């Protein structure tokens, strides 16, 4: 028999005996409410797989990731009257001095949303060590950390959000000037912070990696907003009150001074003696 004519113009697709109008169903089952939604590969996974991150390796203890080893180049001149220069790679538990945290810290933070090992361990421990290496210079490139941190928070997965908030708190403790750089970008964090502040009290997260620490997402969100206000000054307080109206404001010297002045004005308007209204009743 003569086979029927196959239409090759769009949207028709060649078939075995006719045309196929419906798209092919993707293989596998769709993600359910209890399954993890697949996420696009992070920069950390891409660079680790293609060999770009050849200066760091994960040290394993059995089947468990234990620590990171960082590579640094060592060059030695001629010894004993020789003419040969020796160059080799040495591994140490600390990042090398020539490693630029401004270039690589955003890459490690982008890997916080990874579920699989060794990418997750590499992202968390690498971010911690690079934050400590940056030190007081962290505020100089703090704006480049907003995008990967927002990507981690937007997953809304409690473990990922808890780790991201813990690293954000660590950044504020290492260099408090980071808060002032994050004031214009606070609105990007506010939606997830408000969500976990309101409903994250029962989400207890095991921080893992032998830390024996359990934290709740609500407490971490509260701690970050308080530290953000204390380090960022009046601008940070205004940002928190604007984008997180349900959060309890932090008690700072500036807020107490404003409350004391309001209490004095209120006492004068009421014709009472100064000190009748206490500042802490006006929050």
3-state secondary structure the chain: CCCCCCCCCCCCEECCCCEECCCCCCCCCCCCCCCCCCCCCCHHHHHHHCCCCCCEEEEEECCEEEEEEEEEEEEECCCCCCCCCEEEEEEECCCCCCCCHHHHHHHHHHHHHCCCCCHHHHHHHHHHHHHHHHHHHHHHHHHHHHHHHHHHHHCCCHHHHHHHHHHHHHHHHHCCCHHHHHHHHHHHHHHHHHHHHHHCCCCEEECCCCCCCEEEHHHHHHHHHHHHHHHHCHHHHHHHHHHCCCCCCCCCHHHHHHHHHHHHHHHHHCCCCCCCCCHHHCC
Residue 168, pLDDT score = 92
Residue ranges of the chain whose pLDDT lies below 70 = 1-38, 62-65, 73-89, 91-92, 200-203, 206-212, 249-259, 273-283
Structure tokens at 121: 């361990």
Q: Is the dihedral of CA 28, 34, 39, 41 positive or negative?
A: negative
Return the percentage of the chain with pLDDT > 70, whole number.
65
pLDDT in tens, 51-73: 888 888 777 776 666 778 787 76
DSSP-assigned beta bridge partners for residue 76 = 86
Per-residue burial over 191-216, b = 16 or more CB atoms within 10 Å of its CB, e = otherwise: ebbbebbeebeebebeeeeeeeeebb
pLDDT in tens, 10-44: 444 444 444 444 455 556 666 554 455 667 778 88
| CA 275 distance to own-chain centroid | 45
């Amino acid at each position: 028999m003569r086979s029927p004519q196959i239409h090759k113009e769009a949207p028709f697709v060649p078939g075995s005996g006719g045309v196929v109008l419906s798209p092919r169903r993707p293989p596998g089952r769709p993600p359910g409410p209890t399954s993890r939604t697949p996420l696009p590969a992070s920069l950390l996974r891409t660079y680790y797989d293609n060999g770009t991150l050849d200066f760091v390796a994960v040290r394993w203890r059995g089947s468990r990731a234990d620590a990171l080893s960082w590579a640094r180049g060592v060059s030695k001149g001629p010894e004993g009257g020789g003419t040969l220069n020796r160059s080799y790679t040495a591994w140490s538990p600390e990042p090398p001095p020539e490693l630029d945290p401004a270039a690589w810290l955003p890459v490690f933070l982008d890997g916080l949303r990874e579920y699989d090992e060794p990418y997750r361990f590499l992202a968390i421990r690498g971010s911690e060590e690079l934050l400590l290496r940056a030190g007081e210079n962290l505020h100089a490139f703090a704006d480049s950390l907003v995008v990967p941190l927002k990507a981690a928070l937007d997953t809304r997965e409690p473990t990922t959000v808890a780790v991201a908030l813990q690293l954000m708190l660590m950044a504020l403790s290492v260099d408090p000037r980071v808060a002032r750089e994050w004031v214009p970008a606070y609105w990007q964090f506010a939606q997830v912070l408000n969500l976990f502040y309101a409903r994250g009290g029962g989400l207890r997260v095991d921080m893992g990696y032998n830390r024996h620490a359990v934290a709740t997402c609500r407490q971490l969100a509260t701690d970050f907003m308080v530290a953000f206000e204390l380090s960022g000054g009046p601008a940070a307080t205004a940002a928190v009150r604007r984008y997180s109206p349900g959060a309890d404001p932090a008690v700072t010297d500036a807020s107490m001074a404003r409350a004391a002045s309001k209490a004095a004005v209120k006492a004068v308007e009421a014709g009472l003696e100064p000190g009748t209204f206490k500042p802490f009743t006006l929050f």
